[in-house]
Chains A and B, each alone.
Chain A
């Protein structure tokens, strides 16, 4: 990349009016100095960028390289595989339970997302649009819930699920509450709904729509980007969740999710760093794939958390 010529550079540098016209002039004078300074600046920025990229990308590379090594080589500290054992991935898939972990992760993340979005929409709409006494209190309580570390209430919550409802050992104690409004999703969605111009809603009302129909026919379609962001966040929250499954699903290997199973995979295969690394990549893969398909919604969502506030 550092071999880029000066003219390439000029064309990729905005806010350099007239640069191209003067490139024919000899390397002298203020224009040339400015150009040289820009070149140095370009090199500096991209050198830092390459260094940063190495920091971000190299771990993936090492993990990938290790995942195809033989058992012994994976423990040797060597960087380049002597042989490329792609069969390690097949071995991981054949590990008893691995496919169940996938299934459970999909169940938890899928149902969890569905329930969360479904229950967050009316609540967020009410908080964004209705004027009622206690709205501010409700909003503060939503934010307080969002801020609260889940560990604060986990012990009594577990006791109810385990000893009264006998649902520990399954993912239901994690999925069911999501049908009752997740604070973070409500908050995000509300922020998004505030950006929908009031006129559309008024127009629907003039057409004789009730609140529910307005919500379903007008607001939800317009809020699709916001909904997509909330859904993605929730999906990844569930997919990545370790604490929840550790509390509720740990007791029953048939309910383990990928995130929880991966850690036990390392424990059971303490000697096989190659297999562990293959499994690690297989846990990362779905998230990365979804990212490439839903890149926009993702980035919008992240921005939504910060900028729209």
Chain B
């Protein structure tokens, strides 16, 4: 508060204090929420990462034991990290390509536009659990309609959610089905591209690809960047679909009592968030769960900082100067 050294006149100071109080009042819900539901648990996560705590007996300080266990001994750490990164790269990339494709398609459709837009958009609205249950049924290798049709056509059908090699691609397919959000964003961005630029390019004799490359792409890059950032953030939290798909596809009667290990088949759908749940709420290995949480935190922060540097448009220009 360098400015206060000049001792402003009392009236100004009173006004300034009132303004501060007013700002604090308006911000108070968030200030409380941020401290209690974000900062506190984050500190506590660090605290517990050095504790042995089974949520019954008192926490016990164990130094770096949890860290050593998670990073060097826990067999599921590697697969979970790999799956999460795989999904972040493949799922986000394909969603952007597919979303852009569908967005382009929608702008080109001239008949029954309402029908097509609604049809493309609706799956996005399906609650993730419901959509996953539906896909597990559709792609059931034994009794599902998709393999029934493929079989009738003589096309060799994969086992989808039951094949460790196909389980993640099946999840990607499920995410492409719900492309509606990206479709709308891209569609809006594509319609915002000034028409004159296309016409000018046409006059220059540009083909479809060159038009896309030199007119469309530059003007939609910020939106694509935005989609990348939000896509990466969402995919790092990827939980529900992978968990439900693995659980249902395993077909093991999940009778009460049997604790379902996430990641079926062969840990191929195990993501870091699922492992956090499994460690914290199934094994009550609080320390290890908190270590893994912090690993996820560091990766998430690193990735978002990196992407935000690239002007993802999250912090609008006028904010950069504040």
Do any CB atoms of chain A lie under 8 A from CB atoms of chain B in the complex? yes
List residues of B (102-117) whose CB comes within 8 Å of A's CBs: 102, 105, 108-112, 115-116
| Cβ-based interface call for A98 (8 A) | no
CB–CB A309/B314 < 8 A: yes
Bound-state Cα–Cα, A150 to B293, Å: 9
Name, among A152, A236, A260, the residue most crowded by chain B CB atoms within 10 Å (CB to CB).
A152
Among B110, B128, B226, B280, the residue within 8 A (CB) of A242 is B128
Q: Mark B79-122, 1 if CB is under 8 A from A, else 0.
A: 00000000000000000000000100100111110011001101
Chain B: residues with Cβ within 8 Å of the partner, total of 104
| Cβ-based interface call for A283 (8 A) | yes
Distance from A141 Cβ to chain B, minimum over Cβ atoms (Å): 6
CB–CB A122/B120 < 8 A: no
Known: A63-B137, A119-B33. A147 touches B300 (CB 8 A): yes
CB–CB B110/A13 < 8 A: yes
On chain A, the residues within 8 Å of B181 by CB distance are 302, 305
CB–CB B34/A262 < 8 A: no
CB–CB A284/B41 < 8 A: no
Q: Mark A254-290, 1 if CB is under 8 A from B, else 0.
A: 0000111011001100100100110011011001100
Tell me the nearest residue of chain B to A143, going by C-beta: B314
Bound-state Cα–Cα, A239 to B27, Å: 27
On chain A, the residues within 8 Å of B125 by CB distance are 236, 284, 287-288, 291
Name, among B40, B111, B131, B180, the residue most crowded by chain A CB atoms within 10 Å (CB to CB).
B111
CB–CB B123/A56 < 8 A: yes
Of B15-23, B66-74, B160-168, the one contacting chain A is B15-23
| Cβ-based interface call for B133 (8 A) | yes
| Cβ-based interface call for B158 (8 A) | no
Q: Which residues of B contact A (CB under 8 A)?
A: 19-20, 22-23, 25-27, 29-30, 32-34, 36-38, 40-42, 44-45, 47-48, 55, 102, 105, 108-112, 115-116, 119-120, 122-123, 125-131, 133-135, 137-138, 142-145, 147-149, 177, 180-181, 184-185, 188-189, 192, 222-223, 226-227, 230, 233, 236-237, 239-240, 243-244, 247-248, 253-254, 272-273, 276-277, 280-281, 286, 289-290, 293-294, 296-297, 300-301, 304, 308, 312-316, 319-320, 322
Interface of B is mostly: helix
Among A120, A149, A239, A299, the residue within 8 A (CB) of B296 is A149
Known: A52-B102, A138-B27. A1 touches B130 (CB 8 A): no
Interface of A is mostly: helix
Distance from B291 Cβ to chain A, minimum over Cβ atoms (Å): 10
6 additional A-B residue pairs with CB within 8 Å, beyond A153-B38, A262-B127: A125-B26, A130-B26, A181-B29, A191-B316, A243-B273, A303-B184
| Cβ-based interface call for A227 (8 A) | no
10 smallest CB-CB distances across A and B, nearest first, come from A180-B33, A156-B44, A181-B30, A153-B41, A126-B26, A306-B185, A119-B29, A136-B322, A151-B273, A149-B237
Chain A: residues with Cβ within 8 Å of the partner, total of 102
CB–CB B23/A49 < 8 A: no
Bound-state Cα–Cα, A116 to B297, Å: 24
On chain B, the residues within 8 Å of A177 by CB distance are 33, 36-37
CB–CB B111/A77 < 8 A: no
CB–CB A123/B30 < 8 A: yes
Among A77, A136, A243, A303, the residue within 8 A (CB) of B188 is A303
Bound-state Cα–Cα, A120 to B131, Å: 30
7 contacting pairs across A/B (C-beta < 8 A): A120-B29, A130-B23, A149-B300, A151-B239, A247-B277, A267-B254, A287-B127
CB–CB A309/B134 < 8 A: no
Name, among B26, B30, B120, the residue most crowded by chain A CB atoms within 10 Å (CB to CB).
B30
Among A136, A151, A277, A309, the residue within 8 A (CB) of B226 is A309
Q: Mark A146-162, 1 if CB is under 8 A from B, else 0.
A: 11111111111111100
